[in-house]
């Protein structure tokens, strides 16, 4: 079976469409509410969903996602429960590609082989692990060799420079371009060399280039349209969910508008 992310990227390319990717912390407002939000986003035309596995020490995240993680852990969310949620949404027909955004220790503690087995069984399509640079990926890549395993999404930063070709060598799905230095959720604070950095990546990448960190509206990425294949929104999306009591309707409107404006 082909990987859902890669399939989606091909479809988008054929249609000449840019991807809209969202991030939300798993387990909020609760498991049932989280499930409803996943379905809503699929309906609203979100192309890939990043589901954040809450961790006690999210060093790559700014205050919004830190607080969301903290809340979710307090509610009892853990990896096992998120796997159960994944199984339910797949059984209920959700085809949306889903990526786990998680810190390495969560998978390590679970046991890498057991973790990958559960990912396969529950329909997880990809992994984003912000504290696992290419030098440390050997162990997880070994575990991910199994048939149907999720793909590891690679991240590059504005200061990756000569590391970029090496990082992209065997990258799959899409490449996640971090828009600035630092952590998630610093609105509009893109790196001063953002355009030339993204075009460098675009030039060497054989897979779609997605930009994330600090994006709120489709117009934020309009100047970069020529050099990216899509945008990722995390902290701002969570802010919208929180401001609207996690009601699916608000998520639907925001996602529809973003996806439409991104492709105008």
Partner 1 sequence: MKKERYFGEFGGQFVSESLMNTLEELDRVYEDAIRDKEFLKQCAYYLKQYVGRETPLYYAENLSREYGTKIYLKREDLNHTGAHKINNVIGQILLAKRMGKKKVIAETGAGQHGVATATGAALFNMECTVYMGEEDMRRQELNVFRMKMLGAKVLCVKSGSRTLKDATNEAIRTWAKTAEDTFYVIGSAVGPYPYPKMVKEFQSVISRESKKQILEAEGRLPDVVMACVGGGSNSIGMFADFIEEPSVRLIGVEAAGLGIETGKHASAMALGKPGTLHGMRSYLLQDDDGNIQIAHSISAGLDYPGVGPEHAYLKDSGRAEYVSITDVEAMDALQELCRLEGIIPAIESAHAIAYAKKQAKKMKEDEIMIVCLSGRGDKDVHTVSDYISGKVEVR
Distance CA 217, CA 166 (A): 32
Q: CB of 160: closest distance to partner 1 in angstroms?
A: 6
- Tell me the catalytic residues: 50, 61
| Total residues interacting with partner 1, rule: CB under 8 A | 41
The answer for 109, left when phi > 0, alpha when psi is -120 to 50, beta otherwise, is alpha
How many residues does this entry show for the chain? 264
In this structure, what token pair is assigned to residue 2? Answer: 């082909």
Angle at 85 between CA 61 and CA 115, to 5 degrees: 70
CB of 244 to partner 1, least distance (A): 25
- To partner 1, the closest distance from the beta carbon of 114 in angstroms equals 12
Scan residues 66-85 and list those touching partner 1 (CB under 8 A).
66, 70, 73, 78-79
Residue 48 or 156: which CB sits closer to partner 1? 156
Using rule CB under 8 A, residue 121 touches partner 1 = no
Q: Pick one of 23, 83, 100, 104: the residue that binds partner 1 (CB under 8 A).
A: 104
Query: With binding defined as CB under 8 A, does residue 203 bind partner 1?
Result: no
Q: What's the CA gap between 4 and 124, in Å, rounded?
A: 9
CA dihedral 127, 45, 188, 57 (to 10 degrees): -30
Q: Hey, how many other C-beta atoms are within 10 angstroms of the C-beta on 62? A: 18
* Segment lying near partner 1 (by CB under 8 A), choices 127-135, 201-209, 225-233, 239-247: 127-135
List residues binding partner 1 (CB under 8 A). Answer: 55-60, 62, 66, 70, 73, 78-79, 103-106, 108-110, 130-133, 135-136, 138, 155-161, 163, 167, 178, 180-183, 186
């Amino acid at each position: 079976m082909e990987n859902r992310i890669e399939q989606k990227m091909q479809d988008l390319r054929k249609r000449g469409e840019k991807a809209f990717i969202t991030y939300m912390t798993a387990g909020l407002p609760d498991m049932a509410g989280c499930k409803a939000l996943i379905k809503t986003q699929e309906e609203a035309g979100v192309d890939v969903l990043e589901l954040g596995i809450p961790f006690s020490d999210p060093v790559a995240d700014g205050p919004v996602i830190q607080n969301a993680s903290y809340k979710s852990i307090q509610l009892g969310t853990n990896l096992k429960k998120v796997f159960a949620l994944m199984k339910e949404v797949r059984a209920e027909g959700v085809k949306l590609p889903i990526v786990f955004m998680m810190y390495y220790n969560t998978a390590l503690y679970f046991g890498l082989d057991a973790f990958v087995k559960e990912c396969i069984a529950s329909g997880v399509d990809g992994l984003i692990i912000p504290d696992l640079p290419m030098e440390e990926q050997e162990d997880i890549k070994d575990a991910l060799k199994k048939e149907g395993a999720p793909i590891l999404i690679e991240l590059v930063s504005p200061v990756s420079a000569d590391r970029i070709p090496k990082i992209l060598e065997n990258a799959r799905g899409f490449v996640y371009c971090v828009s600035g230095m630092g952590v998630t959720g610093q609105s509009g604070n893109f790196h001063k060399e953002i355009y030339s950095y993204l075009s460098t990546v675009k030039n060497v990448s054989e897979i779609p280039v997605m930009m994330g960190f600090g994006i709120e509206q489709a117009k934020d990425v309009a100047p970069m349209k020529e050099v990216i294949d899509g945008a990722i929104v995390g902290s701002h999306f969570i802010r919208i969910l929180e401001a609207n009591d996690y009601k699916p309707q608000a998520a639907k409107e925001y996602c529809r508008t973003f996806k439409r404006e991104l492709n105008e």
